[in-house]
Every structure is written in C-alpha cells, then in structure tokens.
Amino acid sequence: MNTSDLQQLSDITRTRLSAELRELTHSSAELTALEYVLGESGAAQPSLPRTVIYLLHRMYGPDNETLNDQLQRLTSMCAQFVELYGEGPVSVLRAPARINILGEHVDYVSYLRTASLSFGSREHDMLMLYRASETDRIRGASTLEEYPPFAFTLAEGPSLDARGAAETDWLSYLYEDPTSAPHWSNYVRGAAYFARIRWGARARRGFDFVVDSGIPAGGGASSSSALVVLASAAMQEVNRLGCDPIELARDAAKAEWYVGTRGGSMDHITICLAKRDHAVLISYPEKQARQVALPGRQFRWITFFSQPADKGRGVMIEYNERAAISRIVIPALIEGWRTKQPERYAAWLAAIQSLQTGSAAALDEIERLLQELPCALTLTEIERDYPEAFSACARAFPALVAERGESPLQVRARALHHAGEVRRVATVAQVLESLSSKQTGSAMRGRVDEAMRELGSIFNQSHQSLRDLYGVSTSEVERLTEIIRADRSVYGTHLMGGGFGGNVLALTSEENEGALIERVQTAYYEPQNRQGVQEGSVMISTAGDGLAPIDVESVWREAVEQFNSSDRDVPKHRARIAALLDSMLDETPGEVWPVIVAAGKGTRARGTGLDVPKPLAAVLGEPAIVHVLRNVRTAFGATRPPIAIVSPESQAKTRDALAGDDVTFVVQPEALGTGDAVLCAHKEMRDFQGRALVIWGTQPVIRPETMQRTLKLAALFEDYEMVVPTAHLELPYAPLLRDERGRVQSAYETHLERVERPASGESNIGMFLLKSEAMFEALVELKQRHWDETQRRYKRYDGELGFPNELINYLAGREAGVFACPIADSREEQGIKKLEDLARCERFIGALALE
C-alpha cells in the first residue's frame, strides 16, 4: 500500500460510506470479497477504497460511525506520516487491547501448571503505520502529543557477538546496560534490540512509524505490550525474519523486559492469537494456546478505568518482587524440600503429576503443600539459604536486590493466589466449553445465563485474591469495584492487568450496558469532574481478531481465491479480476528469467502436413517463436537473455529465426519430454534465485498482459512455488483438478496418458511461472525417481518426463505448492500441434488485439 492510497480514503464521505455498507450487507448473507470489492456491475469498481471498507467492516463491524472514525484515523495517521517521513509505500498493523477474563499474574510462574483465559478487543486497539528504512535507524512518532517523537539506531543497542541462547544473552545485556530514564521509546528499543540479539546481522534494517492508540495507557489492557508486539512484528517484516505468531509473542514478551519489568507472555500471546468470538486459553508450561468459543453477544465485557497504574520505579520494583518470588524463589524453596523434607517433596511431585492428568483433587493437595511455604523471606535470608536463587534474582532483578535486601517478601500468599487462579481458570474454561453444544432455544439461554452467573462469582473470587493475596489493588480500584457491584445486573468484577490502578472488568448483560455505564459515571467519574465515555475510560469490548495487517492484498487474495472457485461464473468475473491485477503497483516477486521450450521432433505435426518444426511455423508471416519472444519482452522488458531450448534437428533453423536477438541456446540431446527439456537449462540457471518463466515456443497467442498478470499473481501469492495461468475450455488437452477447497490437486495430459478428454474443464495455456530453485530441485528429484539408466528412458508415459503435469503433481501436495488461476482468455490456450492450428492462431491474435 502507498500513502497516496490511504489519502484516497479522505474522499469517502459519510453518505458514500452508508451506501457502501448498505451494498455490503444488503442481503441475509454479506457479500464476499469477490462480489463486493469488484462490484456487481459489469465494469470493475475502484478497488482500493472498497477494499479498505471491506477490511474495516470485517475488523470493527457494521456500525457507520465506527467505520467513519476508523477511516479518519487512517487518513490522519497518513498525513502525519507524510509530514514526518514523506510519500511512499507503507504498511499498517493492528494490535488489539488485551481483555483478561481470568488468570492474572500467573504467566511468569515457573513451578506450577498455570493458564489464563483472555481475548483481544474488537473495538479497542493500537495501529502502527510504518515503512522500512534503508539504514538501521528507527524513527517513531505518536498521534498523542504527550508522546514526543524519537529516533535511535540499532547500533546503539547490543553488539552482534552473541554468546549463547537469545534469552541468556538478552538478560546479560540488560544486566550490563540497564535502561535509563522511562520513555515510551523504550518499548520500541526493547523490540529492536531483542531482535538484534535473537537474529544477529539479519536484523539490520530499521523503520519509520506513526502509532495511534485507542488503549488507555496504564489501564491494564496492555497498551505497552501492544506497542512491543507491533514493533517486534515490524522488525520481523522489514527484515524478512519470519516466525509464527506464538514465537513472535514470546519474543515480544522478553523484549518488554527492556523497560525494567520481568513479566510473562499472557498479553503478547493474546494479542497475537486472538480470534473473533473466542477467548484464548493459554497454557504456559506447554507453551501452547487454543481458542475457546465465547457465548453469544447478549453479554458485555466492560472495563472501567480508575487511574493510571504508576509505571515508575517504585511500582516496577513491586512488579518485579512478585515475578522474582514466582519465577525463582518459590521453585527454589520447593526444590529445597527434596533434601530437607523428602516426604513433602514426593507428595508435591505426585500432586503435580496428578494435576497434569486433569485431577481436580490434585489442586487441594497442592494448596495444602503451599501452605507449608514460609509466610515471607528477606533477600538476605534467601542469599544465606538459597545462594543460587539469590544469584538468579540479582542477575534478573538488580534493582529489586539493591533496594529490598532487608524487606520481607511475601511468599505463601503469592503461591496461594497462583494455585487459586489455576483452579478458577480451569473451571471457567470448562463452563465455557460446556456451552458449545448444539442446543438452542430457551433451555440454552437458561444454561448460558447460569454459566455467566458462575463466571461472575469466580470473577469476584479472583478480585479478592488479587487484593488480599497478591496485594495489587488500590483504594481507588476498590471504590470503583464497589460501585459496579452495587448493580444487581452485574455478574461479577475483577481488577484487570498488572494492578496498582488501571481497569476493572465487569461482566453484565447487553440490556444493562447503558444503565451500568450511567451508574458508574454518576457515582465515580462525575465527582472527579470526569466524563468516562468521552475520555475513553469506559471500554465495551467483544472478542475480535488478534495481530493482523490492514492489508488490502489479503482481501485481493481472498477475491482471487473465490474467483478460482466460481466455476461457471469465471467468465462473469474474469474481466474484473484482470482489472484488479492491472491496478496493482508494478511490484514483482523478484527477477524473472524466460525459458522458451522449442525442442521436440514434431513427428505428430508432420503427419498433419506441417513441414517445419512447430515453433518455426509461420504465423502472420513470422515464426511462432518470434511472436512468443516479442510478447515476453513486451511483458517483462529487460531480463537476462531468454533461454531457448532446442533439439539438435531444430537448432540451426531456430538460431536463424532469432538472429539478432540476445538469446541463450540450450540443446536437449534427445527428445525425452518437456520436463527433461527444461532440466537441460539447469546448468545455465544453477545460481539463479528468481523465477523462471517457462513457455512453449508454440504459443504465439498468449498476450503480454496475461504474462504481466501472472507475474502480479506471483507477487500476490508470493509463497507459492508455481503459478499457472489457466483457462476454462471445452475438451481440455491437459485438465487441472482442484479439491473441495479450490486448491490444485493434480493435472494430467490426455494424449500421453491415453485417456479421453473431459467435455469441459480448466487447463494450462502453455506458460508457467516457477521459483527457479524449487523447479530444478523437483525436476532433479523426478529424474532420479523415474530415470532408467539401462533403457536410457524415463519410466513414464512414452519414456518421457513431462511438463507441467509432473511438476504440478509433485508440488501440489505442499501447502504453497501450485497456484492456478483462470485469468486467461480461452483462445490464448491455442498452440500449434498441427497444420490447421496456424489459421486459428492468426484469427485469435487478430481478434484479441481488437478487444
């Protein structure tokens, strides 16, 4: 996407947006990307504004005001970005606010099988508009004036001489170079510097960005984690590092340690893995997460903001005290039982094993054993009795050790909170999963209401534990909680996030939403001269999707895939798909090297009266291969010299036909099939890492625009190793078969395989775009698999290695193997196999030139 594309969004008036939304949602079933983005009229619609509306509708829902606000938000961010960094290509990432249903302060526990249940807010999020830099500089700005712009370079961070595991090297760096004064740039520095340690010299490029947040800072909805996740994702994208979402989340969690805390990964995993209408159940020891369906939208998750959680040094040490106790001290005390209390240690191991098998009674035993932990310990006592644990604390939490040496650190209460949250999360997950049955009607509504009341009661228990055992509530939070609970239609509440201020989460019914907000406004916000809703302190959330780009190309891919599956409607949509591809920027998936296959003996063609090799047959007064080469040059401009693969018999005449053209000739010694012919170019192309355009020298009808559109498809579906333009035909020569999802499954050649042609079907047109290295890897493997050295033939049909069907069948089993799309006019499939084909080629070339 380009800044000029985003600037177009300012042309979308409220009236136009209303009309677009009516069109998008006019029927009982919402329009698909293909139907809406390209429009139902005969001509292609302007694709980008409609694409963005489609994306925003999917992300935020159908409310006109909400979508209008989001459009204005994007255009405002774009204007600021252009003012700071100039016009050009940009990307947009969205990270949702994290709403934690249950499982507070358990994501950094190392001695117990803990879990949490959370979701990403559909309504509240943070956006980052960014562009890769050509240097290692990172420049950042916020739409909020209180967060001033900043700049730094990767070279200012850790050196590249990593000594071991990324986490170990990162902790060493943080210990040796502690963070200086608090600043919002530290969250971005953490992401960038951790990437430098994790990926070394591969993390070499910085980026420029503008960020806009709809998540209250210090509110317990993880605005800081959202920023770290966005910066981590941007670092990975601009440097093409690539890792899966949960790996990105764990990296971002460690990156956030740069600001001084040593928290866990709940916020980051939720932000990365959230799914619409689902919660994320995160199991920390297993480092796994799965989605759990949430009940219908007749319930509301509402957060009320008290006051910002102090992120200063004092509160940061409070956070780190709890992390040190949970991650280091309690495990050391339990391990100490091994020698000091062996019976207790054996009972602990048995209880942990039982818990892993799902035994509810195991938690009773675990809580009984945790009661044996000391009420509190000082760091001085820990240094004396558990020196290894003290050393780990000193390395991971130097400020805590420096300032709290003689202060008693709570141990038992923290452990009992952990065990209680384990029990509560397990119960709530079971309750929610019990609601996923197919039962409907009043009985189901009754079950859901009963379940929500059970959840509310557990919420209240969790809040009590956070207040009394974990000590993270405040008098202001308690006052707000009492006001909310005074509403009898509220199922339950609990403090959300790190604590020491921030948000209180309330679960209530849809009908009670307005009354509850009014109650809290009157009793809590008004006495402080605050307007809760207007200032953003009241967040109504439903479960939405996690980290994702606002990526117009994702919608275009969706539209193309729907086009692929449209079967009989392909002719109806093909012109609009062509217009969509033509409207895309001229971005290519790397260098293209044309390979024109013009070998073979032409035995069958001679039987029809064609007395020259097929690629040399005259079409409109010129050899067919001349037309092919001209069309290739028109489509791709300057490339490496095209490779023409010829037979010993046709070599001299083909050289004469292409005299004066910069072409590299490769001879196929024996006629052993088109796959073998392409393999003959391997030596010439061995070090080439771009894409090979393989085209038959007998296909003069394929137009340059079809070649260009194929290249656009390869850019749009860049992970695929083979991209095949196809056409729907009667009696196809080489039918392509798809599975029920529309993915290419296989292909076959009717002549070689001696099978009857189907009445109609989808077929290649004699042109293919492949990643060169993958193509030759496959061809070499196929030769090893099928070559018979004794017979000097392939153990295939007619002793030949075919192309493309052998490649399609070889690659189709891969997740991103073969992508085929019927973008071609059926006439472009016309090649030269016999004498009468020449007249057809001439007629089709003339007709297509007039269209």
Tell me the per-residue pLDDT of 217-275, one tens digit each, with 9 for 90 and over.
766 678 999 999 999 999 999 999 988 999 999 999 999 999 988 888 999 999 999 99
Q: What is the pLDDT of residue 396?
A: 87
Q: What is the pLDDT of residue 449?
A: 85
* Angle 471-382-255 from CA coordinates, rounded to 5°: 60
Residue with tokens 């109650």, as numbered in its chain: 519
Domain 586-850 classification at class level: alpha beta
Cβ neighbors of 520 (< 8 A, separation 6 or more) are 304, 480, 483, 484, 532, 538
Q: What is the pLDDT of residue 299?
A: 87
Residue with tokens 């296989």, as numbered in its chain: 746
Collapse the DSSP code of 11 into the 3-class scheme (helix H, G, I; strand E, B; otherwise coil) and give the result.
helix
Q: pLDDT for 106-126, tens place per residue?
A: 988 989 999 999 999 999 999
Cβ neighbors of 184 (< 8 A, separation 6 or more) are 142, 147, 150, 227
Among residues 692, 695, 702, the alpha carbon closest in space to that of 823 is found at 702
Q: What is the pLDDT of residue 44?
A: 47
Q: Are 674 and 806 in contact (CB under 8 A)?
A: no
Beta strand 91-102 with 115-132 is antiparallel
Q: What is the pLDDT of residue 25?
A: 84
Q: Are 211 and 91 in contact (CB under 8 A)?
A: no
Give the chain's residues under pLDDT 50: 41-45
Q: pLDDT for 150-179, tens place per residue?
A: 999 999 999 876 556 888 899 889 888 877
Kindly report the number of other CB atoms within 10 A of residue 566's CB atom: 18
Q: What is the pLDDT of residue 42?
A: 42
Kindly report the number of other CB atoms within 10 A of residue 549's CB atom: 16
pTM of structure: 0.84
Beta strand 91-102 with 207-213 is unpaired
d(CA 780, CA 676): 9
Cβ neighbors of 146 (< 8 A, separation 6 or more) are none
Average pLDDT in the chain: 91
What are the domain boundaries of the chain?
Answer: 1-88, 90-545, 586-850
CA dist list (Å): 547 to 78, 230, 811: 20, 8, 31
One-character DSSP codes across 404-446: -SSSPEE-HHHHHHHHHHHHHHHHHHHHHHHTTSS--HHHHHH
d(CA 463, CA 485): 12
Q: pLDDT for 179-191, tens place per residue?
A: 778 899 999 999 9
Q: Are 823 and 725 in contact (CB under 8 A)?
A: yes
Q: What is the pLDDT of residue 744?
A: 92
Residue with tokens 């070339």, as numbered in its chain: 845
Q: What is the pLDDT of residue 437?
A: 59
Sign of the C-alpha dihedral, residues 76, 78, 79, 85?
A: positive
Collapse the DSSP code of 804 into the 3-class scheme (helix H, G, I; strand E, B; otherwise coil) and give the result.
coil
| DSSP code, position 143 | S
d(CA 424, CA 459): 9
Q: What is the pLDDT of residue 181?
A: 82
Q: What is the pLDDT of residue 23?
A: 87
CA dist list (Å): 321 to 111, 224, 300, 317, 381: 16, 20, 34, 6, 15
Beta strand 299-305 with 150-153 is unpaired
Cβ neighbors of 234 (< 8 A, separation 6 or more) are 91, 93, 128, 130, 191, 207, 209
Fold category of 90-545 in CATH: Ribosomal Protein S5; domain 2 (3.30.230)
